[in-house]
Structure 1
Amino acid sequence: MSTHLPPSAPPVIFSPSVARAAASTAKDWSYIDSWLLSKYAPLPAHIKVPSFERDPDTLKALLALAAANEAADDSRQQIADLESAALAKLNNTNNNTATSSPADQTVAAQEDPLTSTSTSTSAAETYQEAKTAILTSLSSSLTPSGKEALTSLSSLSQTLSLPPSRADPLHLASSLLSLSTELNNLEQTQQRLDLVNSHITRATASIDKLLFQLRKDQGYSPVAGLAKENLEVQRRIKTLTGQTLPQLTDRVANLASVVAVAESEGGAVGEEGGGGGEGMMTVEQVRREQEAYLELLRRKQELDVQLQPFQGLPPDTEQARRELEGLREELRSLTSRRDEAFEGLVEGGLSPEKEIRGRG
């Protein structure tokens, strides 16, 4: 049964497993596209999502990268929340200390000497100490993979010479992708340059070999007097150009004027002289002369055929007759000898056919 789908209609997937796989792949690509757009959205307008090949291997790598990035984002968000909570708690403590009465502060100092000492420090030093304590606690509580990731990020930011404000993973990834793209372009350019260099090297070697052969083979060297002969030819060309060429030009101009006058007076001369002017031949005359020549040539060939049997005879008529009579006498002699031989065979009782078989 023939289908009536248009030629441009997309192919229909009838396998449920293939349909599920296609739907899953499309969903994964949609997730990757949205994730890349979300990561490149904060960047400047001239930095866009780079183009890449959409194949299963690329999808697998991008999904793994997205999962690792989301895990890192969750960890970073937890650290940021912890820092915010600690900072808020520290600020509340400082505010409570600042708003308490001097008598309360004196009592608190008498009850706890450490508290009185801490309240005497400035708020900035307190914040720095709290931040250092938090960072130390976080560093000591990191897993080995977390420490390795943090070290990699710091090393990468130093290698790329990024300021602390742009040392976040997003800018690091963007800079790394840009460097990878530039490195790939430079490698391709280097390969093309190497190819051109190899072609130039082979061509130079071939030219050097040909030049060596030309210098070695004396057959390619110019003749000893070639330069002198060249000068002589140039001198003759200049002489002819200066003297003979103007004369020839004048002669051609004179002939052209004569031909023009003859063509203008051709009608009157034809009427008076009865045909085209004296000394001038027309195309019709040339055609008649050619036909007469061809007729004579055909007659000559016929006469040559008729004279072919008489080739070898003397030019004198009497000698030719005598030679012809001699040939006729020789022919009669041969005829008589043939007749005698035939009569002898008949008288001997042998027919010519038997004679021939006996000889055979």
Structure 2
Amino acid sequence: MDNLTPQDLFSPSKAREQRAQAADWAQIDTWLSYRYSGRTVPSFERNEETLKVLRELMMANERADEEVTMFQRVEREACKELEEDESDTRKKTRNLEDEKLLENIKAQLTVEGSAALHALASTAVVLNTPTANPETMAHTLIQHTSASQTLTNNLNHIQSLQRYLEKQQSLLRAQLNELQSNPAFATPPNLQRQTTEQVRQTKHLRTKIREYEDKLSSLQSAQSRNTTTPGSKNISSAEAIADMLEQQTTLNTLKEKVEALEEEVKEFTGLPADKEAARKEVGKLEVKLDNMRRRRDALFGELVGK
């Protein structure tokens, strides 16, 4: 790039050529730095001939590296195949020796011994033990027996639980059917009207109670005034007392009626205003009451059994 003239700076072909050479020199510098492994790269003249030689040298070096890598890979694969062949050969030889030894043992065994050997081998295969050692097989057999017993117990427990759930499901279905079909559990058709009427009567009676309480207060005030007057007014005081007692009796009667109505209204406290929703709520409460009765009977039965 030092040999560029002012005219070359405005030539597109020269600019492309200079960029290509700069990229080649960067690649050469990277390759030399890798080859010298951190050591200082010797200085040399940077011209086209040197670039051409270094480029050819780099390409030859890369081809040589690829050939060495390929040779090493082929060598490793060949060694692996040889090792596998040797391992297969040893296995085949060992298998043949084992088969010959087994045949010789079988030939020397009696009928009972052959049956015992076959039973031992079958047991080892079934238990999946790596060896036919009796102690190892015994431990494995104990483990299998314990696991089998545990699974059997769990299965019995699950079956019992399933039967219990099926029984409870049948009972719940029967109760649901009874609640839906039995007229005794049906909500009265005029429940909402009765509730409204009882609330209205309660308000009316409370108003009456306040009126009678006011009258009673007035009578008590009049009585207190009459007791301070001369004896000629004793007759009117006696009549006032009788009237007061009569009104007190009426007041007590009204209070009892109000309390009775309030108790009846309390039974419907919390029910929704809608008739169908009130019926459903009453049905739920009746189911809850039925369950509590069953629980009470069961507890009583347990106490009697004890």
TM-score of the aligned structures, taking structure 1 as reference length: 0.27
Question: Per residue, is there more helix in 1 or in 2?
Answer: 2
**Taking structure 2 as the reference length, what is the TM-score of the superposition?**
0.31
Which structure has more RCO (C-alpha within 8 Å, separation ≥ 6)?
A: 2
Larger Rg, first or second structure (1 or 2): 1
